[in-house]
Amino acid sequence: MKQISKLIILTLMVSVGLFLSSCGQGGSNGGALKSSAAEKVFVAPGKWDSHYAFISGGFSGQLSVYGLPSGRLFKVIPVFSVDAEKAWGFNEETKPMLMTSHGFIPWDDSHHPDISQTNGELDGRWVFINANNTPRIARISLETFETEEIIEIPNSAGNHSSSFVTENTEYVVAGTRFSIPIPQRDMPISEYKGNFKAALSFIKVDQKTGHMEIDFQVLMPGFDYDLSHPGRGKSHGWFFFSTYNTEEANTLLEVNASQNDKDFIAAINWKKAQEYIKAGKFKTMPAKYTHNLYSDDTHSAVSETKKSVRVLDASKLPGLVYLMPTPKSPHGCDVDPTGEYIVGSGKLSASLTVHSFTKMLKAIEEKNFDGDAYGIPILKFEATLAGTVQQPGLGPLHTEFDNKGYAYTTFFISSEVVKWKLGTWEVVDRKPTYYSVGHLMIPGGNSRKPFGKYLVAMNKITKDRYLPTGPEVCQSAQLYDISGDKMELLLDFPTVGEPHYAAGIPAELVTKRSKKFFKLEDNEHPHAVKSEAETKVVRKGREVHIYMTTIRSHFAPDNIEGIKVGDKVYFHVTNLEQDYDVPHGIAIIGANTSELLIMPGQTETFVWEPKQPGVWPFYCTDFCSALHQEMQGYVRVSPRNSNVKLSWSLDGE
C-alpha cells in the first residue's frame, strides 16, 4: 500500500509539473519549470512561423516548404517529378515542363535550392534548384510557390555543383559533376583521361521576368565538380568550384580518385568571362537542350528546343580560371559573408582548409604558381591559405555562416555540427546530429547578410529517431538555436525525400507578395471560358472539347450527351471563383491521364478516352463548400455508330 501511494504521489507530482509547464507554454513567464526547447519551437495554433525553409526533396525531385521554428510542412512544390496532388506533369498544361532533349522525364533528383539575391542579400523573389540526373535548373516563383521555368543544361552530366546565384542574381550557376566527351560521342571509356571534359554553365537571369538563358559555358579539364558558391562583396565577380577526381579516374573512384594529396578549388573570374564573350573569344557549339516556360497568363507551359551554346575554353583563355590546391577531395566550397574566406571541406581530411581571396589575388598578381593543369595555372597552396581549422571532426562536408563571425561545419563521419571562429580558426562549440549530417542551412547563411538565429542540419541516416516504418525509414532534419554562445538542439522533424540542402528566409520577405488567386480577366488560356454563358462542347472529328466552368458548387455544363466510344475528350475546366483558398477539383470515372486541381481564376485540361458506352459520372475532388457532395455531373457515352446529338446543359438550360 505504501509503495502504491508513493507511486501515485510521484505520478501526480510529475503530472502537475508537466501540466504547469504545458499550461505556461503560451505565456512568457515559464519560471523554473519551463521547457525551453519546446517553447522555442512552439507556434501557437493559428500563429505563423517566423521563417520559411525550402528543403530539397533529393530523390523525390521536388522542393518542400517548411515553417521554422515549428518544422511544420506547408507544401510540396512539384519541380522535376510528376505530382498527382497538383496534376503536375499529368495535365495538358504542365506536361511540357518535364520535357527534355531525352524526352519526357517523370522523375529526377533535386539537390540545392538557392534564393535570389539583391546586393548580396536574400530578396524573396525566386528559388532556384537543380535536377541532378538529367541536368536542369528550375526557377520557382515565391509569389505563387510554383515552378515557372526549367532549362536543360547541355554538355553536363550529374548537375551537382548547382544551383547557386551571384549576389545580384546576375547568374544562376550550374556545374557538371561527371566529365564526359564534349560533344558527346561514341568512344572507349578507358580513354577518359585527357579526352573527357567538364562544362560549368552561367545562366543569365532577366531581373524583371526571371527568365533564364545560358550566357556561356566554361570548358574545364575532366575532373569531377562537386559544389560551388559565388564570391560576394570584395570577391563579387568570381565563382568557386570544388573538384575531386583530379586523377581523372574512370573506374573504382572510391580508391582511384583518392590518390592525390590535394585536389582543387577552381576560381572562375566570370567578369573576365564576360569580357571574353564581348571580345568574341567564344566558340558556338551545336547543342540540343530544352527551355520550358510556364505562364500565369495562359496557365500553360511551352517547351522549346535550343540548338547551340557559347563556350569559353579555360585552357586557352588566360586569367579566366585559377586552381587553388585543397587537401583531400573537397566537397563543400563555401564563401563567408564578407567574401574574403573560401572554405574547402576536404572530406577525407581531418582539417578544414580556408583560402583567402585577398591572398589569392596577390598570388595571381605575383604569378606564384605551382605548374598548371591543362594550361590552367595552379596557385601555390601556401600562397592562398588563410588558415586551417585543426582536427575539428571527421568527414567535413559543408559550412554556413552566422552574422557574428562564426562558421558552422557539418561532419558526416563524426555526426556533428562544429562552430568555429573565422580568423582565429578555433573551435568554440560542437553538437551531435542524429545521424550522419550532410548539408546544413542558416537562413541567409550563404549571403552577405545571414540571419543567425536558426540552423537546420539535414541528416542522411535516422535509424532509431522515429517510430519504425519498415525498411525505408523517415528522412529527417534537425533544428538548432544558434543565437547563443552554444548551439542548442530544439527539434527533429521529418522531411519529404532526402533533404540534400535547403534555403531559408525570414517570412516577411515573402508573405507580402504571396498571390491569393488568379484574376479571371487576365486569364489568356486558349481554352478558358469566363462565364457560364460561354460554356460549350465542340466536336472536331474524333476530338471533343468540353469548355467547362466551376463555381461553388456546380459544374457548367453538368449533363453532356453525344460523346462516342473512341472519342478523345478534352475537359478544359476554368475555375470562376475569385476568392482566396477556393480551388475546385475534377475527376471522371476511368480517368487514365489525370485529375485536376484548379486554382481560382485558372484553367486546366485533362484528356479522357471513354472505352465503353454508358453514363459516367464526374465530381469535384476538393471539398469546396457545404454542398460539395452535390458538385457532380454525368457524361453519356454512346456506341461509335449512334446518332445521339451532341448536347450539354445545366439545370435543363
Partner 1 sequence: MKYLLYILIASALVLLSACSSSDESSQAKQEKAGEGGGLTAFQLENGIGPITEKLNVGEIDPAKVKKGEATFVAKCAPCHKLDKRLVGPALRYVTKRRSHEYILNMILNPTGMVKEHPEAKKVLAEYLSPMTDMNLTKEQALELLDYLRSVRKEGEEKKIPEVPLFRSAQP
Task: Catalog residues that contact partner 1 under the rule CB under 8 A.
Answer: 2, 5, 8-9, 12-13, 15-16, 19-20, 23, 517, 520, 530-533, 549, 551-554, 556, 576-579, 582, 625-627, 651
Q: Which is nearer to partner 1, 26 or 566 (CB)?
A: 26
CB of 633 to partner 1, least distance (A): 14
CB of 145 to partner 1, least distance (A): 20
Report the number of secondary-structure helices (H) and strands (E) in the chain.
7, 45
Q: 96 with 599: CB under 8 angstroms?
A: no
Q: How far apart are CA 616 and CA 426, in angstroms?
A: 71
Q: Which is nearer to partner 1, 45 or 484 (CB)?
A: 45
Please report which residue ranges of 449-494 form alpha helices under DSSP H: none
Q: Which is nearer to partner 1, 508 or 581 (CB)?
A: 581
CB of 507 to partner 1, least distance (A): 24
CB of 556 to partner 1, least distance (A): 7
- Cell 485558372 belongs to which residue? 602
Q: 560 with 637: CB under 8 angstroms?
A: no
Please give the DSSP secondary-structure letter assigned to residue 521. Answer: G
Q: How far apart are CA 398 and CA 410, in angstroms?
A: 5
Q: Which is nearer to partner 1, 50 or 553 (CB)?
A: 553
Q: 331 with 242: CB under 8 angstroms?
A: yes
Name beta bridge partners: 423.
none
Q: Which is nearer to partner 1, 213 or 579 (CB)?
A: 579
CB of 208 to partner 1, least distance (A): 26
CB of 618 to partner 1, least distance (A): 17
Q: Which is nearer to partner 1, 30 or 432 (CB)?
A: 30
Q: How far apart are CA 163 and CA 214, in angstroms?
A: 13
Cell numbers that stand for 325 in this block: 590546391
Q: How far apart are CA 159 and CA 133, in angstroms?
A: 7
DSSP assignments along 178-214, one per residue = S-B-SS-----GGG-TTT-BEEEEEEEE-TTT--EEE
Cis previous bond, 318, omega within 30:
no
What amino acid occupies position 180? I
**By three-state DSSP, how is residue 471 classified?**
coil
Q: Which is nearer to partner 1, 365 or 651 (CB)?
A: 651
CB of 625 to partner 1, least distance (A): 5
CB of 529 to partner 1, least distance (A): 10
Q: 445 with 400: CB under 8 angstroms?
A: yes
What amino acid occupies position 653? E
CB of 125 to partner 1, least distance (A): 25
Q: How far apart are CA 55 and CA 63, in angstroms?
A: 6
Cis previous bond, 553, omega within 30:
yes
Q: How far apart are CA 360 and CA 368, in angstroms?
A: 9
Q: How far apart are CA 13 and CA 17, in angstroms?
A: 6
Cell numbers that stand for 551 in this block: 463555381
Cell numbers that stand for 448 in this block: 552577405
CB of 530 to partner 1, least distance (A): 6
DSSP assignments along 556-592, one per residue = ES-EEEEEETT-EEEEEEEE---STT--EEEEETT-S
- Cell 585543426 belongs to which residue? 390
CB of 579 to partner 1, least distance (A): 4
